[in-house]
Structure 1
């Protein structure tokens, strides 16, 4: 075997090794992207759980339900607690909005977050809370949420127990 033949064989092996490396790196990038999406979804669930835990505590549950319904009889302290809870929702959505805009969150995950925000914005108290706190956010986010508000009908049910009882009646008593 001549030196030039040996060099040609070595070059072929070298090119093959580069090809395998490129395929491996592409696979790792795909796996990394999936892992990143899973981490983002997990973080969103944790944030929602914290908000729901706060909202479901003995003193907060009534305030949150009344606040979402737009109950004007909330006293100053109750109103502040409601707006803080609502702020947590808007902050979490802002995070999803920013991550989606930067290409970190996929369309399906963002669509789910938008559906959740529309559900909240269908309630008058959430809309009022938004008007109170909207000045704290970036112009782009404010414009986006304002478009959601404009495109969402105010017909939300703040009292989840009423909806639950209604659905329970349709499925019948459970043994």
Structure 2
């Protein structure tokens, strides 16, 4: 059977479309892998920052615990330190919020940070320290922290 140019063109067109679909599929696959890698690196970066913040808090645990319970129990120097410790925790939260807003971490990761924040503000000293510096943070961040976790979520902590 002899092929004419119309048949050859049709076969070439079909092969070209198949090649294009395979290429698009590959690009979609690679974009998804890249997005997953970026999210993983972002979470890893947050976890590294979290380790640093928690190390600082552990180093000054006594001042942090007393200040969280009652600011009046702190000396002026300890109050200064406590305020910096609260700011450390809030810097971690703000970093997580920026990553969340850029869709680099999942909702459940951000919600875990919000639940931790709501646990922290149950302590009167922490709440007072937060209220004193709250206006320094972007409005979107403050609004994100105001999201109330459900009672079931708080009980699960």
Given the two structures, how large is their TM-score scaled by the length of structure 2?
0.84
Q: Match of 2:135?
A: 135
Gaps of at least 5 residues in structure 2 are 152-157
Shift of 1:138: 1.3
Shift of 1:40: 1.7
Relative to structure 1, the CA distance from residue 99 to residue 23 in structure 2 (aligned partners, 3 Å threshold; closer, same or farther) is same
Q: Say if 2:19 is the partner of 1:24.
A: no
Gaps of at least 5 residues in structure 1 are 154-175
Q: Where does structure 1 differ by over 4 angstroms across 4 or more consecutive aligned residues?
A: 150-153
Determine helix, strand or coil for the equivalent of 2:73: coil
> Is the contact made by 2:39 and 2:105 (CA closer than 8 Å) also made in structure 1?
yes
Count of paired positions: 149
> Is the contact made by 1:118 and 1:152 (CA closer than 8 Å) also made in structure 2?
no
Relative to structure 1, the CA distance from residue 84 to residue 102 in structure 2 (aligned partners, 3 Å threshold; closer, same or farther) is same
Query: 1:30-56 deviations in whole A, cap 9, x for unaligned?
Result: 212221221121112111110111111
Shift of 1:124: 1.4
Q: Match of 2:9?
A: 7
Relative to structure 1, the CA distance from residue 36 to residue 151 in structure 2 (aligned partners, 3 Å threshold; closer, same or farther) is closer
Shift of 1:152: 9.6
Q: How does 1:1-175 map to 2 (within 5 A)?
A: 1-57=3-59, 60-145=60-145, 147=146
Relative to structure 1, the CA distance from residue 54 to residue 107 in structure 2 (aligned partners, 3 Å threshold; closer, same or farther) is same
Query: 1:60-99 deviations in whole A, cap 9, x for unaligned?
Result: 1211111221241211211111111111111221222233
Given the two structures, how large is their TM-score scaled by the length of structure 1?
0.76
Determine helix, strand or coil for the equivalent of 1:72: helix
Relative to structure 1, the CA distance from residue 41 to residue 141 in structure 2 (aligned partners, 3 Å threshold; closer, same or farther) is same
Shift of 1:151: 7.6
Give the RMSD, CA atoms, in angstroms.
Answer: 2.1
